[in-house]
């Protein structure tokens, strides 16, 4: 019934077509989570029209209902095996994570992202053969729910899916040619765009010979000349490499959406507030100029989703400490720097009504012997986030005693300021004076009530699907 109503709206022309826009990725891998309703208000205050989620978090989807914000819901790679092998599981996933939130006053879900960079080289093909079967099953589930004409399936790809020394020679990796051909044919037949994540920062971080100015949008002393085309920034070069790769498959005009792009503000050399502001503002200005790229003049990407909305202090640091610092806002919804998203506000607006813990911090006591504190610091930082202390981080230069205090306080705030968590065998003490130094900010936690339930609810969804399948198998014996 729901899908039929939406289909009728579309036939009558009451549903607006998707427009090119600047959106954001909203990740929730954080120790200090804001209430989803607070984040939705933050999106609305900043007039951000589109948001990309990495999973179907019930609390987040409920908060987005009635907001008018267009939503992309993600499916983790770990679910691809189940969804690719079981049409029933796909039906259940769509029912629980899409249909349940739509309808009048509901969430405006426009896309479902099937997997997250499933073709990444480092996965060694682990998910490669699951993608198309999962997509086919999910598409049939959307058809059954009468949602297939409204909601599009996409696959966020990493830029390592294609390769070339020059943009015009771009091609998908040989082992991906067959599956990319199938994927692109599917996307084209269903009116869906190709989605790619592009990270000039990682090119710079991973390659010491990469020209730093080529990563930005302010001109370069190392342009790339490709025939008659000259590239002055890494984004255009990377984008046109994809355009060429799609062209080799016969789909050179396929719409492209940038699923992730951004610049971290801390945790590594080159990851700082200044660079993040220059990159993100340069990107937005470049895209909204509608100049396009040499291979697609006057035709910029269909949409761009900035990575990311908020810092995520609990993310894995395996790629680097910068992983926890991609947000244009800090974990508590406070803007890190002035940024004009081109959406009506000239600067970012901070989150409102954030509920903080009391203004107190845990620091090293004056008598602390730094020689006896190493183990306590190691324990604190193994639980809490100390990535700003790393080389290149904003707190790297605050001295040995400052490092100890930062580690103690990070742990203390994570423990919701439990006084016992500032003991450290008598080495820590609580202070009401902010110990922040320069750009090094000693955080105060937020009193998050209720959002911790979302993880268990997502796990519950997995069990619902698994239990249903087990019951089905028993009755089929």
Instruction: Return the active site residues.
Output: 117, 260
Alpha carbon of 59 to those of 35, 116, 315, 396: distances in Å? 9, 21, 20, 36
The span from the CA of 241 to the CA of 73, in Å, is: 27
Q: Contact at 8 Å (CB) between 204 and 165?
A: no
Residue with tokens 């920062």: 201
Rounded to whole angstroms, the maximal C-alpha distance in the chain is: 74
Question: If 0-12 CB within 10 Å is exposed, 13-18 middle and 19+ buried, where does residue 149 land?
Answer: middle
The span from the CA of 330 to the CA of 395, in Å, is: 15
Tokens of 383: 């639980």
Question: If 0-12 CB within 10 Å is exposed, 13-18 middle and 19+ buried, where does residue 222 land?
Answer: exposed
| Adjacent-strand bridge partners of 310 | 329
Tokens of 10: 């579309």
The span from the CA of 459 to the CA of 452, in Å, is: 12
Alpha carbon of 133 to those of 56, 114, 130: distances in Å? 20, 11, 6
Tokens of 14: 């009451």
Q: Contact at 8 Å (CB) between 32 and 445?
A: yes
DSSP 333-396: S-BSS----SSS-SSPPPPSS--BPPS-EEEE-TT--GGG-HHHHHHHHHHS--GGGSTTSTTT
The span from the CA of 322 to the CA of 272, in Å, is: 9
Residue with tokens 């050179």: 252
| Adjacent-strand bridge partners of 21 | 303
Residue with tokens 């949008």: 217
The span from the CA of 22 to the CA of 309, in Å, is: 12
């Amino acid at each position: 019934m729901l899908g039929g109503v939406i289909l009728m709206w579309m036939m009558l022309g009451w549903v607006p077509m998707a427009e090119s826009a600047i959106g954001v990725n909203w990740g929730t891998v954080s120790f200090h989570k804001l209430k989803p309703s607070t984040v939705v208000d933050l999106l609305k205050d900043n007039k951000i029209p589109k948001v990309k989620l990495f999973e179907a978090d019930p609390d987040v989807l409920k908060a987005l209902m009635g907001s008018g914000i267009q939503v992309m819901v993600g499916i983790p790679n770990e679910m691809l095996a189940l969804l690719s092998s079981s049409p029933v599981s796909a039906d259940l996933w769509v029912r629980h994570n899409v249909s349940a939130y739509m309808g009048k006053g509901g969430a405006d879900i426009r896309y479902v992202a099937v997997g997250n960079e499933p073709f990444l080289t480092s996965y060694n093909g682990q998910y490669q053969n699951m993608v198309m079967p999962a997509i086919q099953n999910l598409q049939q589930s959307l058809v059954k729910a009468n949602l297939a004409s409204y909601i599009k399936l996409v696959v966020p790809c990493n830029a390592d899916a294609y390769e070339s020394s020059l943009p015009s020679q771009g091609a998908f990796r040989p082992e991906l040619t067959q599956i990319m051909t199938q994927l692109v044919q599917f996307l084209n037949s269903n009116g869906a765009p190709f989605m790619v994540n592009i990270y000039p920062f990682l090119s710079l971080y991973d390659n010491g010979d990469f020209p730093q100015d080529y990563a930005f949008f302010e001109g370069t002393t190392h342009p790339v000349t490709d025939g008659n085309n000259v590239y002055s920034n890494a984004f255009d070069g990377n984008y046109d490499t994809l355009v060429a790769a799609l062209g080799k498959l016969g789909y050179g005009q396929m719409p492209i959406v940038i699923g992730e792009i951004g610049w971290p503000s801390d945790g590594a050399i080159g990851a700082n507030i200044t660079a993040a502001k220059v990159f993100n503002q340069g990107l937005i200005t470049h895209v909204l100029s509608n100049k396009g790229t040499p291979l697609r003049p006057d035709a910029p990407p269909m949409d761009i989703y900035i990575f990311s909305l908020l810092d995520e202090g609990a993310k894995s640091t395996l790629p680097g400490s910068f992983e926890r610092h991609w947000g244009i806002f800090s974990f508590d919804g406070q803007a890190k720097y002035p940024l004009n998203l081109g959406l009506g506000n000239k600067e970012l607006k901070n989150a409102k009504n954030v509920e903080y813990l009391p203004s107190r911090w845990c620091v090293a006591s004056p008598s602390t012997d730094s020689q006896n504190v190493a183990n306590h610091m190691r324990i604190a930082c193994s639980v809490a986030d100390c990535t700003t202390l790393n080389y290149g981080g904003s707190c790297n230069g605050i001295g040995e005693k400052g490092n100890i205090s930062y580690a103690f306080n990070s742990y203390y705030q994570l423990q919701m300021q439990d006084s016992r968590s500032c003991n450290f065998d008598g080495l820590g003490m609580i202070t009401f004076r902010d110990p922040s130094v320069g750009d090094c900010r000693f955080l105060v936690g937020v009193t998050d009530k209720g959002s911790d339930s979302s993880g268990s609810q997502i796990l519950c969804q997995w069990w619902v699907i698994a239990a249903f399948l087990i019951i089905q198998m028993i009755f089929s014996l």
